[in-house]
Amino acid sequence: NAGVTQTPKFQVLKTGQSMTLQCAQDMNHEYMSWYRQDPGMGLRLIHYSVGAGITDQGEVPNGYNVSRSTTEDFPLRLLSAAPSQTSVYFCASSPLGGAYGYTFGSGTRLTVV
């Protein structure tokens, strides 16, 4: 039981490049979310999903795209990377219903130069 697995752990991108951050969970959780963490800003919600085929925007969705074709996977796509997207990205998952905590992945540290 690996929990929530994020890849890669570190990434450096050039401005304008695109890439996909991977997130997979093996706990059969319906809820999955992407957060970014910047110093002094806490964890800000980018996109979230309540099940396969269903996604919605969070607090800071601009410049990011998501899809959820399976319960297990929830990739985050950066369409055209900008320096402002330099951050630590966390994926999290939780069972359906709202009475459970979220399990976080170990994070991806992204630098855009």
Nearer to another protein, 11 or 17 (CB): 11
Least Cβ distance, residue 77 to another protein (angstroms): 19
Contacts of 62 (CB under 8 A, 6+ apart): none
Query: Minimal CA–CA distance to 90: which of 27, 1, 9?
Result: 9
5 binds another protein (CB under 8 A): no
Cα distances (angstroms) measured from residue 43 to each of 26, 104, 110:
23, 12, 15
90: its two tokens: 């966390």
Residues 51-90 contacting another protein, CB under 8 A: 56, 58-59, 90
103 binds another protein (CB under 8 A): yes
What is the binding site for another protein (CB under 8 A)? 30-31, 33, 35, 40-45, 48-50, 56, 58-59, 90, 92, 94, 97-107
